[in-house]
Amino acid sequence: MKHLYPIKESKQCELRKASPETIRFLLDYSKSLKIVSSRGLTFESNLN
């Protein structure tokens, strides 16, 4: 199994910086997203 998932040692995990506009978009979207579960079903709605 080890050969199925090679590890690239030269490219490790890198942190990226997000722009203020991207952060604002994600925060606004998360505020407007409403998830309702009923009888085993999940409904997602954007309250925008």
pLDDT of residue 20: 94
- Spell out the residues 6+ positions from residue 46 whose beta carbon is closer than 8 angstroms to its own: 29, 32, 33, 34
What pTM value is reported for the model?
Answer: 0.49
Q: How confident is the model at residue 41 (pLDDT cuts 50, 70, 90)?
A: very high
Please check the confidence at residue 25 and state whether its pLDDT lies above 70.
yes
> 7 with 20: CB under 8 angstroms?
no
